[in-house]
């Protein structure tokens, strides 16, 4: 190897160190981790594809780093020329390498965060950096803060905690762009890296871990990152359920144990009761049919049975451990009687068990009881399996558990008996964990929500009224609709028989209600109506549930998302509550869902955030008037443009009184992996939600002053106007958007089972919120997040210079305003208008260039005004850690951006010709054209060889680098 190469080898390491701002703190291992993973990867790359490719990767990295350092667009062109000369196979290898290096950088960062957290716990109570104190919510610290600073009594905390509920709703949003096969390999890389830096590691361990690390990095690199077929809803559900298997199942009892310990430390010597619903889980996978024709009634049935089978299997795999543990012979009379009854009913040996397959001796009563539980679990699982496979089962239902009470009864009996005999410490071991799992997951593992668009219900009602020859429901006024629905709901007669003429759509809606009626009621959560606007939308679903013989009707939840719907929501809910029939039906409880994504796409982030804030306040007011307890269900996305952001802050910035100990939140797509991908992540997620919800209830955030409100109202009007004038009124905006971003190509990623548009034709309105955000994130311009803020700030500051001070007060004193601005600042830290300019130059027609320039000057103006309001000299001044992490990542992303822009140019412009350089990458098995193997993975592409794969790899890489897809 020439000396130049040796110098280069050293240079990437040195460059990383240069890029990282001076050591942020002494426990900072990030650069070390990063350099280690990178070195390993480059060695593997060299072994697999030769020196030339490795050198090209390093050259690209250096050019990117120089661009990042000097902001010199010249460097982007040099980089572009280097990348466009690559032949198809090489460009796939290069894009794959950079995408992979970014994933490794993310892993290094996760390990570093976990490391800092451990250090912090060891130095407990020593908050060197105040920032993490605000955004982290350790449950014990929260308790102590409530007791010491806010003067709450331990008993008050205990009572609040026992009655609070956080329901996390996992949704299969098409934003998880990493395949499951890769997520597992990433997990193993993380573990190797953590162990390599453990204190007590021997040289042999180190060598073996190093080999394992290399093996996993190579295995991940050699896995095809691209999904070649779109996932079916069942696959999305399996992927979602795998988190239960891996982390959530064991994570819940572990977390509740930590809560017990924290309670002990503030002087409460009781445990959280096992049936306190502190954490609950629901799912939309296989239940969310809004705009997804692939979710059929059959899919819903499959998903429910699959979840029941998994739940029974998870319990079944633990019950023998419990039998082993409970070998005591002392028991109370109640248990003895029950055990004797079971023994006397004749039983033959069950040889399909591994342990305890012969009859259990009578002097081990707990085992006798649990043996019966085990038999029932076995049958429960097998019955679900047979129903799933053949639609029928020969196992009689009475030999299985059909509701959770039957399942809890024998377990509670064992618990009571152990306590009565003085064995409470034993009862509070595995048995308590098991009881807590049963009351959290039940027999259905998660409750499935059903979501459907209100229009589809109107179609069904219309068909019914036409069939009954009483008119067209669709054309009736709201008053007439309500009157008719209520008279039907109060009556007894069936509305329609099998002879109702049905279109496919109508049959689908009715069939879904039949599935709800057929399956056990504990399989389901809420029935959510999207695009709901009026009380009749809710009553129609109530009527359909009754008509289709749903024995225990699901609670009906209207979802308000567009700006106008949010503003009209309080009045609609008030009208609903003023209907006597409905008030009797809901028994004092109502849930309302508010959508973050579509409101943002409709009006821009600032106005959407403020509208959501006000809508919640108004809704709570209405509910109080009618004496109803309202639960808000927050449909937050992963990205800032769709309402994402740090959990703790997001909860604490909600208006006072709106949570009140019950919170439902969606955990979407790519966020599921960040929240539950690892045991420690799962623990942290549960802790954050529980602690922040408790704190919000016991120490509500300040309500905004009247003058702050007035200023916000004024700003929201200006922001919406500015946003809409660009996005909806600029005649060539859609054309510009489609040229300047990879939006048209997004559908090729096969991320989700859902189409990316609601209606195939149509402009921005019909585009789903996810691709809309995705496209702007790819070019690092993030338009939907910041557009509107600048105009609003400028307007109020020009109108009265004193307003600048008021905005600063709002930033410093009002959590809602602070969180809104901090998230936008974080997005500015990830943005780069220079990159967006490159896309414009290559892909947009010349007469639209001035429009792009105008948008970029708006970007710069918004950024400087934001810094002025926040009182920061520099972006992310308050968060040096995040700043460093983003700096380390930028050079990788820049290469991918340039490659993406030039690849789009080659795909879209038939007259764009490039001179190919000679082929670089050598493959291990020397075939005549090795990288051609990579091209063969996608034989059906309509583009020139290799271009489509290169494009998709850059999309995935940038998404990983931005840490959010949509």
Instruction: Report the length, in residues, of the chain.
Output: 966
The rounded distance, in Å, linking the Cα atoms of 723 and 43 is: 48
The rounded distance, in Å, linking the Cα atoms of 298 and 314 is: 24
Catalytic residue among 49, 96, 100, 173: 173
3-state secondary structure of 166: strand
Decide: 261 and 424 in contact? Cβ < 8 Å. Answer: no
What lies within 8 Å, CB to CB, of 181 at 6+ separation is 223
Q: How far is CA 605 from the centre of its chain?
A: 19
Tell me if residue 799 is catalytic.
no
* DSSP annotation string for 847-893: GGHHHHHHHHHHHHHHHHHHHHHHT-SSTTTT-HHHHHHHHHHHHHH
- Provide long-range contacts, Cβ within 8 A and 24+ apart, for 30-36: 30/108, 30/109, 30/112, 30/884, 30/885, 30/888, 31/888, 33/108, 33/109, 33/111, 33/112, 33/193, 33/197, 34/104, 34/105, 34/108, 34/888, 36/108, 36/193, 36/196
3-state secondary structure of 348: coil
CA-CA-CA-CA dihedral for 679, 680, 683, 688, to nearest 10: -140
**Which of 917, 899, 906 shows the shortest CA–CA distance to 955?**
899
Decide: 893 and 962 in contact? Cβ < 8 Å. Answer: yes
The rounded distance, in Å, linking the Cα atoms of 243 and 254 is: 15
The rounded distance, in Å, linking the Cα atoms of 37 and 234 is: 35
What lies within 8 Å, CB to CB, of 709 at 6+ separation is none
**Which of 412, 542, 438 shows the shortest CA–CA distance to 488?**
542
3-state secondary structure of 167: strand
The rounded distance, in Å, linking the Cα atoms of 660 and 192 is: 42
Which H/E stretch holds residue 170? strand 165-171
What lies within 8 Å, CB to CB, of 165 at 6+ separation is 277, 278, 279, 280, 661, 662, 663
Decide: 60 and 902 in contact? Cβ < 8 Å. Answer: no
The rounded distance, in Å, linking the Cα atoms of 809 and 712 is: 13
Q: What share of the chain is helix, strand, coil (3-state, %, to 5)?
A: 65, 5, 30
Catalytic residue among 120, 601, 614, 721: 601
3-state secondary structure of 168: strand
Q: How far is CA 69 from CA 66, 102, 880, 957, in A?
A: 5, 19, 18, 21
Angle at 221 (CA atoms; ends 219, 226), nearest 5 degrees: 110
Rounded to 5 degrees, what are φ and ψ at 458?
Answer: -60, -40
Decide: 76 and 893 in contact? Cβ < 8 Å. Answer: no
Q: Sign of dihedral through CA atoms 168, 174, 178, 180?
A: positive
Q: How far is CA 316 from the centre of its chain?
A: 29
Rounded to 5 degrees, what are φ and ψ at 644?
Answer: -80, -170
Give one word for 270, left, alpha or beta, with left for phi > 0 and alpha for psi -120 to 50.
Answer: beta
The rounded distance, in Å, linking the Cα atoms of 366 and 322 is: 10
Angle at 260 (CA atoms; ends 255, 262), nearest 5 degrees: 95
Q: How many CA atoms lie within 13 A of 46 on its CB side?
A: 13
Q: Sign of dihedral through CA atoms 333, 337, 339, 340?
A: positive
The rounded distance, in Å, linking the Cα atoms of 563 and 615 is: 10
Place of tokens 């496209």: 775
Which pair of structure tokens corresponds to residue 947?
A: 């271009």
Tell me if residue 795 is catalytic.
no
Name 282's bridge partners: 169, 447
Q: Which residues are identified as catalytic?
A: 173, 601
């Amino acid at each position: 190897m020439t000396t130049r190469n040796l110098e280069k080898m050293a240079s990437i390491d040195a460059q990383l160190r240069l890029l990282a701002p001076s050591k942020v703190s002494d426990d900072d291992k990030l650069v070390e981790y990063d350099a280690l993973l990178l070195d390993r990867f480059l060695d593997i790359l060299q072994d697999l594809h030769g020196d030339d490719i490795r050198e090209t990767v390093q050259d690209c990295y250096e050019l990117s780093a120089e661009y990042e350092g000097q902001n010199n667009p010249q460097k982007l062109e040099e980089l572009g020329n280097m990348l466009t000369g690559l032949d198809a196979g090489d460009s796939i290898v290069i894009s794959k390498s950079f995408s992979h290096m970014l994933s490794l950088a993310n892993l290094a960062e996760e390990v570093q965060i976990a490391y800092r957290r451990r250090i912090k716990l060891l130095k407990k109570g020593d908050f060197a950096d105040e920032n993490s104190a605000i955004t982290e919510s350790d449950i014990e610290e929260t308790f102590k803060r409530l007791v010491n600073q806010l003067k709450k009594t331990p008993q008050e905390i205990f009572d609040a905690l026992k009655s609070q509920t956080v329901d996390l709703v996992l949704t299969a949003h098409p934003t998880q762009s990493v395949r499951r096969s890769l997520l597992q390999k990433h997990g193993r890389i993380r573990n190797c890296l953590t162990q390599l830096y453990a204190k007590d590691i021997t040289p042999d361990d180190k060598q073996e871990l190093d080999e394992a690390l290399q093996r996993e990095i190579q295995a991940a690199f050699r896995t095809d990152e691209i999904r070649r077929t779109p996932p079916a809803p069942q696959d999305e559900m399996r992927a979602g359920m795998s988190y239960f298997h891996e982390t959530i199942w064991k994570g819940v009892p572990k977390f509740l144990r930590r809560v017990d310990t924290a309670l002990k430390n503030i002087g409460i010597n009781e445990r959280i009761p096992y049936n306190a619903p502190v954490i609950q889980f629901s799912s939309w996978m296989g239940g969310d049919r809004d705009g997804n024709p692939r979710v059929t009634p059959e899919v819903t049935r499959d998903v429910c049975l699959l979840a029941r089978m998994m739940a029974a299997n998870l319990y079944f795999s633990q019950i023998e451990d419990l039998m082993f543990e409970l070998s005591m012979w002392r028991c109370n009379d109640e248990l003895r009687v029950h055990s004797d009854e079971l023994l006397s009913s004749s039983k033959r040996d069950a040889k399909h068990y591994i342990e305890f397959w012969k009859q259990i001796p009578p002097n081990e009563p707990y085992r006798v009881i649990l043996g019966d539980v085990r038999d029932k679990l076995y049958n429960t699982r097998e019955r679900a399996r047979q129903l799933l496979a053949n639609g029928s089962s020969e196992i009689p239902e009475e030999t299985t558990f059909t509701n959770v009470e039957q399942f809890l009864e024998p377990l509670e009996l064992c618990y009571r008996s152990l306590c009565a005999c003085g064995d409470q410490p034993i009862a509070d071991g595995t048995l308590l964990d098991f009881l807590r799992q049963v009351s959290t997951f039940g027999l259905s593992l998660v409750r499935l929500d059903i979501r459907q668009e209100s229009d589809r219900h109107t179609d069904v009602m219309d068909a019914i009224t036409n069939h009954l020859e009483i008119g067209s429901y669709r054309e009736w006024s709201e008053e007439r609709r309500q009157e008719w629905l209520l008279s039907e709901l109060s009556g007894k007669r069936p509305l329609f028989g099998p002879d109702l003429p049905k279109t496919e759509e109508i049959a689908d809606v009715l069939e879904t209600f039949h599935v709800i009626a057929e399956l056990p009621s504990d399989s389901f959560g809420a029935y959510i109506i999207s695009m709901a606007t009026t009380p009749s939308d809710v009553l129609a679903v109530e009527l359909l549930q009754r008509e289709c013989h749903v024995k225990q009707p699901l609670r009906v939840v209207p979802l308000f998302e567009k700006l106008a719907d949010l503003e009209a929501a309080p009045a609609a809910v008030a009208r609903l509550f003023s209907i006597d029939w409905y008030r009797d039906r809901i028994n004092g409880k109502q849930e309302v869902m508010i959508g973050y994504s579509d409101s943002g796409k409709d009006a821009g982030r600032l106005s959407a955030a403020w509208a959501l804030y006000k809508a919640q306040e108004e809704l709570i007011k209405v509910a109080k008037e009618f004496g109803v307890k309202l639960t808000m269900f927050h449909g937050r996305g992963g990205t800032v443009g769709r309402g994402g952001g740090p959990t703790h802050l997001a909860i604490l910035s909600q208006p006072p009184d709106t949570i009140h100990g019950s919170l439902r939140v969606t955990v979407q797509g790519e966020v599921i992996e960040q929240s539950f991908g690892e045991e420690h992540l799962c623990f942290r997620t549960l802790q954050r939600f529980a602690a922040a919800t408790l704190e919000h209830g016991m120490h509500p955030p300040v309500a905004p002053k009247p003058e702050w409100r007035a200023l916000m109202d004024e700003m929201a009007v200006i922001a919406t106007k500015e946003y809409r004038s660009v996005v909806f009124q600029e005649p060539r905006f859609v054309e510009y958007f489609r040229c300047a971003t990879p939006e048209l190509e997004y559908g090729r990623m096969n991320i989700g089972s859902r189409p990316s548009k609601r209606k195939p034709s149509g402009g921005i309105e019909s585009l789903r919120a996810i691709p809309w955000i995705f496209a702007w994130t790819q070019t690092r311009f993030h338009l939907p997040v910041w557009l509107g803020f600048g105009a609003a700030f400028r307007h109020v500051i020009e109108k009265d210079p004193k307003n600048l001070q008021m905005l600063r007060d709002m930033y410093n004193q009002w959590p809602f305003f602070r969180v809104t601005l901090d998230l936008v600042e974080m997005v500015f830290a990830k943005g780069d208008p220079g990159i967006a300019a490159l896309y414009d130059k290559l892909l947009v027609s010349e007469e639209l260039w001035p429009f792009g320039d105008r948008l970029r000057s708006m970007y710069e103006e918004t950024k400087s005004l934001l810094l002025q309001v926040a009182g920061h000299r520099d972006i992310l001044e308050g968060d040096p850690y995040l700043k460093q992490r983003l700096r380390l990542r930028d050079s990788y992303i820049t290469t991918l951006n340039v490659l993406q822009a030039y690849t789009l140019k080659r795909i879209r412009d038939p007259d764009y010709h490039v001179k190919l350089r000679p082929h670089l990458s050598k493959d291990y098995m020397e075939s005549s054209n090795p990288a051609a193997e990579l091209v063969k993975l996608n034989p059906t592409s309509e583009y020139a060889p290799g271009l489509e794969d290169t494009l998709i790899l850059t999309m995935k890489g940038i998404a990983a680098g931005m840490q959010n897809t949509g």
